[in-house]
Structure 1
Amino acid sequence: MRTPGPPGRSDRLDALRGLAMVWMAVFHFCYDLNHFGLIRQAFRSDPFWLWQRTAIVTLFLACAGLALALALHAGQGWPRFWRRWAQVAGCAVLVSAGSALMFPRSWISFGILHGIAVMLVLARLAAPLRGWLWLLGLVAIALPRLVADPFFDSRWTNWLGLVTRKPVTEDWAPVLPWLGVMLWGLAAGQWLLARRPGWLAGALPHRLAPLAALGRWSLSFYMLHQPVLIGALMLYLWIRR
């Protein structure tokens, strides 16, 4: 068994985040195979792929909410928060730039990193609400189904999520409804820390250590995995010619 990590971190949470990273990488590899014509799948309409994406994003944002609860419990101040936030926001800008080069007609203007950057600020501001976060999260999840307007269909406004149609883009994680998932993760983390702290701080089986290590470097892995996968497939196609 591995001993618990340093204050503000949880090996168990890192392993859960690492599992999400592996799942995401497999999903993206299949997506890349489809992009290069090596398989034929309807990623934009087949429920099998749509539900997988939903599950992966849900797991990511729930982990982000849990991690925020741990950080606040450990006394994280705003300066340290902003340093980490700047890394996420900077990587989001790089994702937009890279996607614009590779997918000029469907580039990523508000993907998962953009969403996390905005939602982390909102979730941190809402953290003092504690038990009320469950209700606030429910409202955030329900709003897109109750309120929608064509005004929000443009690239400048679709980040909020109140759209009448999904945008044509390689990735899209609007504030609504996904803020609700992060708020529920934050609320769950606060509840666990108050009533079941051992569930997050407990030791991790040694065989899961690689997942925990991956989870601690999730942002770096996220930024590097697609260039590596795409580069490897391009090399394969070049050799196969």
Structure 2
Amino acid sequence: MTTKRLAVLDLARGLAVVAMAIYHFSWDLSWFAFVDWPVSQGTGWRVFAASIAGSFLFLAGVSLDLAHNDGIRWRPFWRRFAMIAAAAAAVSLVTYFTFGDSFVRFGILHSIALASLIALPFARAPLALSAAASIVFLTLPFWAKSQILDGPLWLWTGLGTVGYPSVDYVPMAPWAGVTLAGLAVSRTFRNLKLCTRLSEFRLRSASASFIRAMGRHSLAIYLLHQPVLYGLVWTAAAVGPDLDRSGKAFVRNCSLACEDSLGTPGICRSACTCTLEQLKADNTWEALQEEPQNQSLRSRMNTSYAQCLADAELAPQAD
């Protein structure tokens, strides 16, 4: 069994923590309208978020292999599992009171806990079986989706239509496959005696030591960093100037919906900005915020949007 802690593994986990903090801080700045970055919807941001989640899950598989390759250590495993499960429950509870219906129903910690249960038996299975299991889970969304798995009861599977918004959603499929891939890669490295070579890298510089320390305490940092960052940005928004967060959110969401049908970002942003200006000019905006489901107000909004969109589509031709 590998008992010597790998400095490179702590470094990799620490770098994932740094990337996670950067993403969450960017999301907070966007949420409070300090920036107009499409953190929630932008393709690049989604890839960035997925790579961070994948890093944590992959490293969880590596850690499982290193800890249990010579025999499953049940007590440490269940202790770690209980800590992650409790932390996942805490995240769901806190985000429920913070974001309402968009709370984290099955996020990265939920996924790590479930993936650890799935991957644990493969720590003692043949390498080929671990690799095959990884491929199965990674490809499940392509061939195993079913309407039978729609709804909240099966949202953890990732094989149905959830129908709920969430600020973080990392289901079993395909993400458990990433953990299994980490386990398989770790086993391959051990078979090739590469872990011994990696253990020779001590990484004792000040910056590397700091990042390694973050990697060793990644769970605690995960639980604490977002409340701290969110609180700082919330405080800045509360004491700072009015940034018209709701107006910026309207333009951003309106533009994204428009682009889905028209595919013309410039025209869509112009039309949505024009719509907001008209709603404010005729005193509809404040009333709409107080009664978002008021059909009369929504009809006036749609009329303004249709006129603004028509004007925006004509504007390029007039230049």
In the superposition, the TM-score normalised over structure 1's length comes to 0.92
Once the 2 structures are TM-superposed, how far is the Cα of residue 164 of structure 1 from its aligned partner?
A: 4.1
Cα distance in 1 for partners of 2:111, 2:4 equals 23
**Residue in structure 1 matching 2:17, options 21, 41, 47:** 21
Q: Which residue of the partner structure matches residue 275 of structure 2? A: none
In 1, Cα distance between the equivalents of 2:130 and 2:189?
Answer: 14
The answer to whether structure 1 residue 55 and structure 2 residue 51 are counterparts is yes
Which secondary structure state, in structure 1, belongs to the residue aligned with residue 126 of structure 2? Answer: helix
Taking the aligned partners of 1:199 and 1:60, their CA distance within structure 2 comes to: 23
Q: CA separation of 1:200/1:121 partners in 2, compared to 1, >3 Å: closer, same or farther?
A: farther
Measured after TM superposition, the shift of residue 127 of structure 1 is 1.9
Provide, for residues 216-241 of structure 1, a one-character-per-residue CA deviation record: whole Å limited to 9, x for no partner.
00000000000000111122223324
Contact 2:27/2:40 (8 A) holds in 1: no
- The equivalent of 2:227 in structure 1 is 227
Q: Say whether 1:124 aligns with 2:120.
A: yes
1:143 alignment partner in structure 2: 140
C-alpha distance in 1 between matches for 2:186 and 2:163: 31
Cross-structure match for 2:245: none
Residue 67 of structure 1 aligns to which amino acid in structure 2? S
Q: Which residue matches 2:172?
A: 175
Equivalent position of 2:77 in the other structure: 81
TM-score normalised by length of structure 2: 0.70
The higher-RCO structure (CA 8 Å, 6+ apart) is 1
Once structures 1 and 2 are overlaid, which stretch shifts more, 36-45 or 172-181? 36-45
Distance 2:151 2:4 in 1: 39
8 Å CA contact 2:7, 2:202 repeated in 1? yes
Residues 138 and 166 (structure 1 numbering): CA distance in 2 closer, same or farther, change over 3 Å? farther
| 1:9 and 1:71 in contact (8 A); partners too | no
State yes or no: 1:203 paired with 2:201.
yes
Deviation at 1:149, TM superposition (A): 1.7
Q: 3-state SS of the aligned residue for 2:165?
A: coil
- Describe the SS at the equivalent of 2:39: coil
Which residue is equivalent to 2:214?
214
Once structures 1 and 2 are overlaid, which stretch shifts more, 196-205 or 49-58? Answer: 196-205
* Preserved contact between residue 151 and residue 163 of structure 2 (Cα < 8 Å): no
> Quick check: which has more Rg, 1 or 2?
2
3-state secondary structure, aligned to 1:206: coil
Instruction: Give the direction of change, closer, same or farther, for the CA distance of 1:105–1:145 in structure 2 (3 Å limit).
Output: same
CA offsets 1:138-162 (integer angstroms, 9 cap, x no match): 1111111112123323222111111
Aligned length: 236
Cα 1:45–1:237 shift into 2, 3 Å: closer
Aligned partner of 2:130 in structure 1 is 133
Structure 1 residues 213 and 57, CA, compared in 2 at 3 Å: closer, same or farther? Answer: same
Cα offset, 1:67, TM superposition: 0.8
DSSP 3-state at the match of 2:124 = helix
By how many angstroms is 1:8 displaced? 5.0
Instruction: Name 2:8's counterpart in structure 1.
Output: 12
- Structure 2 gaps of 5+ residues are 242-319
The alignment yields a C-alpha RMSD, in angstroms, of 1.7
Secondary structure at the residue paired with 2:35?
coil
- More divergent stretch after superposition (230-239 vs 9-18): 230-239
Instruction: Report the Cα distance in structure 1 between the residues aligned to 2:98 and 2:155, rounded to whole angstroms.
Output: 21
Deviates more, 1:35-44 or 1:45-54: 35-44
Q: Distance in 1 between matches of 2:65 and 2:133?
A: 16
Further displaced range: 54-63 or 150-159: 150-159
